[in-house]
Amino acid sequence: MHVITILWSMVSAACLTLALLHLAIWWRRRREMSHLLFSVAAVAASMNAMVELMQMQAASIEDIGRLFVVQNIVIAILLAALVWFVYVDFRTARRWLAIVISILWMASLIVNVLSPYSITYSSITGLHIISTPWGEPFASPDGEVNPLTIIPNAASILITVYLLDASISLFRSRNRRRAIVVGGSSLFFIVVAGIYTPLLDERILTTPSIISFAFLAIIVAISVELSSQVIRSSVLSKEIAASEQRWRTLLENIELLVVGVDAQGNVNYVNPFFERTTGWDSQDIIGKSWFDTLVPEEERTERRGLFEGVKDQEQQVNVQNHILTRDGKPLTVSWSIVMLRDGDGRSMGVLSVGADVSKREELFREIALLKDRLEEENIYLQTEIALAGVHTDIIGRSDGLRYALTRVEQVAPTDTTVFLLGETGVGKELFAREIHMKSTRRDRPLIRLNCATIPHNLMESELFGHERGAFTGADKQRKGRFELADGGTIFLDEIGELPLELQPKLLRILEEGEFERLGSTETLRVNTRIIASTNRDIEAEVERGGFRRDLFYRLSMFPISIPPLRKRREDIPLLVHSFVELLSRKLGKKIETIPRDTIDRLAHYHWPGNVRELRNVIEQAIILSKGIKLTVPKSLLGGQVAADDRHEEDLRKLAEVEREHITKILDKANWRIEGKDGAADVLGLHPNTLRNRLVKFGIKRPPRQH
């Protein structure tokens, strides 16, 4: 009865089958390196099972010595592949630790090849034949353990630390399933194998080696998680394909010329109406240059320049020009061109919708309607693309940041208005995106508007839209941001810059969900969640009369204060490593080392521009760095290291001065707050504001003297 042969062969076959499965997945989805690394680990686990089986059936010392050399090579490949798989898949593992582990395994492999009996044994004196309870014999070597096994043992200990650290970080980032399934199972079985193997080497245990079964358990657990991820991705791809099919049906049945051109100027789509109108078959022009095939020779240079300029635009462009039919006849076409961009904002080309105005000028109105639909859909799709890959943009473990994220978790599932407070550059837009993605509106668009970047005379049109003829240049009806955000979320950044005359309209939307477009008397209703933010002291603006008190109270239903970077210094190393990894790839640089003193200098800078300033400094430092080590010149930090201490001291002194001044005025007013010549009147403050200051500074009226 060959039970050992059957069991170990089944382990090998199972690991090899999973390896081939995920290798096929990687071949179809080349960017997902995690599947390739997992396949390498699974192949190594399969080979290890076969080597173990051959060891148990070895007939000589020389054979088993060679098999131990092979086994150690296979295990090193397996564990190294597993380490880098965790680095690529988790995105929370420490790169330097993965490098150290890999170096240790390389060193152990060198010793393993040079040693006569591998790195496991310094000598093998004989083979000990042992029988299983059912009577099947297997060979077990007798010999002295190689003292250099300390190298792979150290690597195994570091792998345990590495997996534990990466799994905890992943668990805290709210990806708990993967942390438990992949990280937890890998950690458990590696620890089991790490305890069992030394006991077997010291002959404390006399059973067949079962390390292959531990590796099989790891491989199966990881495969299940990766497969479920592929299934989820496949479902999402089907939904995207269905959406694309709906749009393709629309474009192929509309009585307008529709042309898609890629970023290089080559035609990649024409609709049937284009073919019927021009006489061109799609197979004759798909893949060919638009300019060389369909543009009159005298217009090609001008049109190429227009195309390159259009790719850098952020909105649609309207042009009228000529194209050539198949028989060389020119047609005058009025085009509405929409830019297509990927999730990183790179140009993917343009989609042009046009009408033959030489014969059918009556179609202009239909062009305008379709252009509006394309514009709205483009805004929605760009928003969805930007949100699709976001779940780890908010980086940090500080108490202040975790408290702010807790507030996000509490309010996100509701439709409550949220007010984000924080200095410039702290990441208010990321928090708005996080709230939206955790809300029931996450399948609808998140529309953003920075109130500080829109001229006051255009703000009303931007927010609420306008009718044709509402003002000079308004040649068509245009929807505002609130209509585009209907059913979704609108993020009003720098709300303190909103003109005073528009604040009643915003208050009306908050309270009743109603508004009118500029130049219209028709009342429109929208169901939009509002998230606002500011870096200004809105309470001071209310007291000054620059911001409506009722609007302030309505917006402040659920405020979230985002701490500045100087208040969460423990997050700076995490942010630095994240930015270095992201920006070095973007800039095509290879930064592998961040000196400790550089981290310390960055951690002690006061960062008036917060996370945005830190990112900019890291990007400049990567550009200036030579080699693989990050160098941050002092000039990038303005020569102000540890300036936050002086800043805190200045704030403390200012608070003391304010407290003394208020106390002095109260004494002169005989501690009367309201009324003419009261302390509030003298200080120029609202009585309630003065009472708040008394509580803030702990000012109390001294007891009366009798």
Residue-wise pLDDT tens digits, 464-492: 998 888 888 778 888 889 988 899 999 99
Task: Record the tokens describing residue 231, joined without a space.
Answer: 């299934």
* Average pLDDT over every residue of 103-114: 86
Residue-wise pLDDT tens digits, 578-633: 999 999 988 888 888 899 988 888 988 989 889 999 999 999 999 988 888 998 88
527 band by pLDDT with thresholds 50, 70 and 90: very high
What sign for the dihedral angle of Cα 355, 357, 362, 365? Answer: positive
Cα 375 from Cα 369, distance rounded (Å): 10
3-state secondary structure 524-537: EECCCEEEEEECCC
For 253-385, the fitting CATH number among 2.40.40.20, 3.30.450.20, 3.40.50.2300, 3.40.50.720 is 3.30.450.20
- pLDDT tops 60 at residue 367: no
Lowest mean pLDDT among 378-387, 412-421, 617-626, 631-640: 378-387
Q: Which of 541, 534, 540 shows the shortest CA–CA distance to 561?
A: 534
Residue 201: what pLDDT? Answer: 59
Q: How far is CA 587 from CA 1, 162, 342, 584, in A?
A: 62, 28, 18, 5
Q: Which residues is 321 bridged to in the sheet?
A: 333
- pLDDT tops 80 at residue 177: no
In order, the DSSP letters of 497-518 are GS-GGGHHHHHHHHHHSEEE-B
55 band by pLDDT with thresholds 50, 70 and 90: confident
What is the CATH topology of the domain spanning 3-233?
Rhopdopsin 7-helix transmembrane proteins (1.20.1070)
Where is pLDDT greater, at 657 or 540?
540
- pLDDT tops 70 at residue 207: no
Lowest mean pLDDT among 87-101, 229-243, 586-600, 628-642: 229-243
Q: Which residues is 266 bridged to in the sheet?
A: 289
311 band by pLDDT with thresholds 50, 70 and 90: low
Mean pLDDT score across all residues of the chain: 80
- Cβ atoms of 2 and 132 within 8 Å: the answer is no
What superfamily does domain 390-561 belong to in CATH?
A: P-loop containing nucleotide triphosphate hydrolases (3.40.50.300)
* Average pLDDT over every residue of 673-693: 79
Lowest mean pLDDT among 22-31, 184-193, 263-272: 184-193
Residue 505: what pLDDT? Answer: 92
CB within 8 Å of 665: residues ≥ 6 apart: 679, 682, 683
- pLDDT tops 80 at residue 293: yes
Lowest mean pLDDT among 111-115, 223-227, 309-313, 381-385: 381-385
* Average pLDDT over every residue of 242-265: 76
* Average pLDDT over every residue of 428-449: 91
Q: How far is CA 170 from CA 91, 175, 181, 319, in A?
A: 8, 6, 11, 50
* Average pLDDT over every residue of 60-73: 82
533 band by pLDDT with thresholds 50, 70 and 90: very high
- pLDDT tops 80 at residue 90: no
Residue-wise pLDDT tens digits, 439-469: 999 888 899 998 888 888 888 888 999 888 8
Residue 388: what pLDDT? Answer: 39
Residue 199: what pLDDT? Answer: 63
* Percent of the chain at pLDDT exceeding 90: 14
- pLDDT tops 80 at residue 389: no
Is the whole-model pTM more than 0.85? no
Lowest mean pLDDT among 13-17, 46-50, 344-348, 424-428: 344-348
Residue 380: what pLDDT? Answer: 46
In order, the DSSP letters of 123-149 are EEEEEEEEE-TTS-EEEEEEEEEPGGG
- pLDDT tops 70 at residue 45: yes
The helix, strand and coil proportions of the chain, stated in percent and rounded to the nearest 5, come to 60, 15, 30
Residue-wise pLDDT tens digits, 319-365: 888 888 888 888 888 888 877 776 556 677 888 888 877 665 545 55
Residue 264: what pLDDT? Answer: 83
Residue 91: what pLDDT? Answer: 77
Give the residue extent of every domain in the chain: 3-233, 253-385, 390-561, 565-641, 645-697
What sign for the dihedral angle of Cα 403, 430, 614, 631? Answer: positive
Architecture field, domain 565-641:
Orthogonal Bundle (1.10)
* Percent of the chain at pLDDT exceeding 70: 81
Task: Record the tokens describing residue 300, joined without a space.
Answer: 């090609």
- Cβ atoms of 458 and 450 within 8 Å: the answer is no
- pLDDT tops 70 at residue 170: yes
Residue-wise pLDDT tens digits, 641-678: 444 444 444 545 556 777 888 888 888 888 888 887 78
Residue 565: what pLDDT? Answer: 92
419 band by pLDDT with thresholds 50, 70 and 90: very high
